[in-house]
Amino acid sequence: MAEWGAVLIACGFIMFAAVAMILLHTLRRVLLRTEEVLGKAGLEISQLASESKELLVQASATLSLLQDRVEEVEPFCESLRLAGASLSNTLQRADSITQVVTDSAMERLERAHRENELRFAEAFRWLDAGISVWHSFKRQSGPSADDHA
């Protein structure tokens, strides 16, 4: 029986060795596939890194150019702001001058109206008196003027 036990142990060892070989072979294939995938990923990462570097260089150049343009436009914007402030002040002054001129013109117009009212009232009184005198004169001279006709 010891012989059968040794045979069984030998068979078990052979089976264990066969399973271990199959397992090692499968593990080797998995490792090779993993190495291949990692190699491709490494290449893609390298390409992505170089593209990212180019993109960063272009972005840096663009930002530098944009900064230069902003610096060039900044004095123009400041000039526009000052021109706007100057125009605003000028318009405020023109508005106040217009208001003073309008008030002065209205005051002169009202004063002229009052003076003309007084003058016209006096002129109309004299005209009324003149017409009344003329009518009176005409009435008195009217019958003798009819006699001549």
Instruction: Give the pLDDT score at 1.
Output: 65
Please check the confidence at residue 143 and state whether its pLDDT lies above 70.
no
104 pLDDT exceeds 50? yes
CA separation for the pair 139, 132 (Å, rounded)? 10
Q: How do residues 37-49 score in pLDDT, each as one tens digit?
A: 999 999 999 999 9
- Supply 30's token pair: 């998995």
pLDDT one-digit tens code per residue, 55-101: 999 999 999 999 999 999 999 999 999 999 999 999 999 999 999 99
Q: Considering the entire predicted model, what is its pTM?
A: 0.41
Q: What is the 3-state secondary structure (H, E, C) of 127-142?
A: HHHHHHHHHHHHHHHH
